[in-house]
Structure 1
Amino acid sequence: MRRALVLLFVLLPTMAGAKAVLLAYGSLPGTHSDRAVATAKRLADGVPGNRFGGLGSALDYAGCDTFLALPDRGPNAVAWNRALDETTAYVNRVQTLRLTLAKAASDGRFPLQVQARLLKTTLLWSRERLRYGSGAGLHAASGVPPLNAQRHRFYFTGRSDGYDPAHASDWPGDARLDPESLRLAPDGRSFYLGDEYGPHLYRFDRASGRRLGIVNLPAALAVAHPAPTGAVETKRNARGRVGNHGLEGLAITPDGRTLIGAVQGALIQDGGAHGGFARLVRIDLVTGRMHSYAYPLQRVGGTDAKPRYAGISEIVAVNDHVMLVDERGGGGAGSGQPARIKRIYRIDLRGARAIDGLHGVRALAARAVHKHLFVDLVARLGRHGITPAQVPEKFEGLSFGRDVRVHGHWRHTLWVSTDNDFLPTPNRFLVVGFDDTDLPGLRRMPKPLRCRDVASRR
């Protein structure tokens, strides 16, 4: 009973929402190919290796209507090998998109429409040798990408057996990478990327895709005994992230000094699948100091003994202490269930009590941050005639874009992207409009512009 009261206290402030509005809802086809022609050969599951999909795992504005969009570990919605969690040797990459807003037709559901175009595909690789899976005992061929020999590089791939069993899951020599979060660095020439397998936090060169560096994360996030499937990993380990629930979100403060990583759900030592608190890790890039904070997750079902919770999909910085957190449960188009929890919350880390050295539901509940509803995407889309059964299942990317003028008034924009799991369904983008009263204190990192962004408000 005491635990239920603690959770209720933490979640009470979430009831009030802001007045943000939906400005646009657009898409890119999920059946097209990207610009990495050298990877076009079909993967082990039969899906083309350069299918233009999964864009919504992360999204970040780079200035001049240009965004970086991040696919995750590649196609794994088609069953071909359960021993590998259906993953393939898909070469990890980042897509550079041009996303603009134009006036919509007078009879449209939204005042603006999204116009989208792919500009560039950048493959991710390491100069240092990586450990790939041999496929032995897993009914699979070698996981080494053919591109390695052609270009004399070591490419990261999404295949789940690309790890060294002699090391914990955060070993930087592993070839496997499940990218789920990305933020542009202040120099504009590199970006930080968070992954679920390790979890890892790497820095990559934006132009070439080469790994430039490694940002250390708390050892408590890694599992000591990695495995080719998330379920086996979770069973084998008493500590660390749950399988396929790693560094799902990443924020960078406007001054470029601090990264905030968000774990998708509770760590194994914090209750695992039945734990109600995820960890936010704050990293000072100058000093290397790290502190962790507890984020309360929305309960979505289960029993009192085994409750189920939504998970964090993304986090974005409003300023150096206020964040927006994308939290979602299951359900949505293609899942067979209507969408319920697709919400963006506001939190403030100023004055929050760190949970360094603590673990377990009770310890985290006592120090959890408070959250306040910023926008309920299911409810907002419903006002535009989009039913819960039609709402995309996976809203996973958040990025502030440039301001736009709508009906004579300037609005800030928050872009939301979806992950289509590389299925032949559209990659979708949703644009939320808001003003300073909806989200006070907004500061954005200056972008090193190389174009004349004449339509932007200064």
Structure 2
Amino acid sequence: MFTPRLTARLVAAALAAALAPAAHAGVSLIGIGQLGGTDRSGLTGTLENGAPANTLGGLGSAIAWAGGDTYYLSPDRGPNASNWNAAVDDTTSWIPRYQTVSLGLAAASFSAGSVATLSPSLTATTLLSSTAALDYGSAPVLTDGSGKYYFTGRADAFGAGLSTNGNNARFDPEGIRVAANGKSVFVTDEYGPYVYRFDTATGNRIDAYTLPDKFAAGTLSAQGATEIAANTSGRVANKGMEGLAITPDGKTLVGVMQSPLLQDGGTDASTVRIVTIDIASGKLTHEYAYKLDNIGTVAKPKYGSISEIVAINDHEFILDERDGKGLGDDSKAVQKKLYRIDLAGAADVSALTGEAALAPKAVAKSLFVDLVALLKANGFTDRSIPAKIEGLAFGPDVMVDGVLQHTLIVVNDNDFLDTVPVQGSPTANPSQFLVLGVTADALPTYQAQQIPEPTTLALAALGLGGLALRRRPR
């Protein structure tokens, strides 16, 4: 639902859109929806910080099209905005999960120059688990007693070895894509970084794709700042593999790190790594470099981060490059840009280390759409644009005034905070679905992923009802 203030602004949207820059020619905002409440996990009780275990929030960490009007949305490691235990970065025994949502595109009517109000609905919740015992470290063990061991958002749920140890129970999902057969999903993670594959009918992990050791942290800590200080190589804490794409043929995964690896300069550096993984063999096949915009000054460079990557075809992709400003940060949004890249002919950087070596080999990029400009042209302000725009997924084509357009769904991570302060006033901070209409000439090489729609039987299997967990403290 729109707020009255936003609805009033939309009256002038068509005129404002005419003033929008050519960077998003052929791209328009055609729909918006919101979703909140509780999920369908069947979980009861509260987490360590008092938040309900079945909170429906943080949806926009990742979104994947599952066919038809169905989408899978993956929250991250759970509610951790309340101070309860700094020793574990205020993380909780949240069970990572994905939500199955019907967006409501089929029931909507789209017209040029206007924005339709969508009515998303939650149809299922899938908890992510392992049939093999996991290492929970000093965190509570999460099991239902029937052979399932649930992953956890707790930062202290790890054992010995590298951060990429697949036995670790801690899991911070940040990217999700649907396999070609529609029966499993691939999920990336920041703690490892990991890439895991889960069965959609059971939520059980059925495969793992291991990244080279250079992506891993060797000294682990439940506190992100301590972990960063203790390592000189590997992913930056809480900035592991953020985005994930799957090529339309369903054969290749393409993952992107949120920030540069520590040995490549960390968050003070400009160039992140993109990796490609052959699904059939499970092997990492290539690494590419992507250079972030300098949103600071020449004298004092500052770089944002990558939140998502989505496939246009088997070699072209769209990446979400953003800052952390806007609604949720009590600041003004500056950069939320979608860039287009082509990996065909790009240099492989597997053997290179360091910003100086990577930056000259970075793939060329071109601006696809400036989301800040587009949203402001449609009634948003610098402070009402969501700070964490993190999820992208193409969806089904729709008719806009009789013309077929592609849909690109943009979602935000609201950090499980339904209300946030904006200049001293409590302000709604919902999980939002922003539907972009993309004309065929704006993406002439687009190829939709062919995915079987989720079956009624598979969705019925997800009705977990009244799940009783055995949460044993270590």
Query: TM over 0.5: same fold?
Result: yes
Whole-angstrom CA distance in 2 between matches of 1:450 and 1:235:
44
2:226 to 218, 224, 232: 232
Deviation digits for residues 8-36 of structure 1 (CA, Å, limit 9, x no counterpart): xxxxxx9955431111121112xx11111
Task: Establish whether residue 24 from structure 1 lines up as the match of residue 31 from structure 2.
Answer: yes
How far residue 385 of structure 1 moved from its aligned partner, in angstroms, is 1.4
Write the letter of the residue equivalent to 2:136: Y
Aligned length: 424
Alignment of 1:300-449 (within 5 A): 300-301=295-296, 304=299, 307-424=301-418, 425-449=429-453
Task: Establish whether residue 153 from structure 1 lines up as the match of residue 158 from structure 2.
Answer: no
Alignment of 1:114-263 (within 5 A): 114-134=118-138, 142-145=139-142, 148-164=143-159, 166-263=160-257
Contact 1:109 1:384 in 2 (8 A): no
Q: Which residue of 2 aligns with 1:9?
A: none
Cα 1:302–1:76 change in 2 (3 A) is farther
Task: Establish whether residue 78 from structure 1 lines up as the match of residue 82 from structure 2.
Answer: yes
Whole-angstrom CA distance in 2 between matches of 1:185 and 1:450:
12
Contact 2:72 2:101 in 1 (8 A): yes
The SS at the match of 1:301 is: coil
Task: Establish whether residue 297 from structure 1 lines up as the match of residue 292 from structure 2.
Answer: yes
Contact 2:73 2:101 in 1 (8 A): yes
Percent of aligned pairs sharing the same letter? 46
Cα 1:18–1:364 change in 2 (3 A) is farther
Q: Larger RCO: Structure 1 or Structure 2 (Cα < 8 Å, ≥ 6 residues apart)?
A: 2
Q: Which residue of 2 aligns with 1:89?
A: 93
Contact 1:18 1:373 in 2 (8 A): no
Contact 1:54 1:71 in 2 (8 A): yes
Whole-angstrom CA distance in 2 between matches of 1:326 and 1:420:
17
- C-alpha RMSD of the superposition: 2.0
The SS at the match of 2:30 is: strand
The SS at the match of 2:380 is: coil
Whole-angstrom CA distance in 1 between matches of 2:200 and 2:45:
25
Q: Which residue of 1 aligns with 2:425?
A: none
Whole-angstrom CA distance in 1 between matches of 2:396 and 2:238:
33
Write the letter of the residue equivalent to 2:394: F
Write the letter of the residue equivalent to 1:290: T
Contact 1:416 1:429 in 2 (8 A): yes
Q: Which residue of 1 aligns with 2:50?
A: 46
Cα 1:302–1:89 change in 2 (3 A) is farther
Calculate the TM-score normalised by the size of structure 2: 0.86
Whole-angstrom CA distance in 2 between matches of 1:196 and 1:44:
22
Q: Which residue of 2 aligns with 1:137?
A: none
Contact 1:253 1:445 in 2 (8 A): yes
Whole-angstrom CA distance in 1 between matches of 2:455 and 2:409:
21
How far residue 275 of structure 1 moved from its aligned partner, in angstroms, is 0.7
**Contiguous gaps of at least 5 residues in structure 2:** 1-20, 419-428, 457-474
Whole-angstrom CA distance in 2 between matches of 1:383 and 1:16:
13
Q: Which residue of 1 aligns with 2:275?
A: 281
Cα 1:423–1:301 change in 2 (3 A) is same
How far residue 41 of structure 1 moved from its aligned partner, in angstroms, is 1.1
Task: Establish whether residue 56 from structure 1 lines up as the match of residue 50 from structure 2.
Answer: no
**Contiguous gaps of at least 5 residues in structure 1:** 1-13, 135-141, 453-458
Task: Establish whether residue 36 from structure 1 lines up as the match of residue 41 from structure 2.
Answer: yes
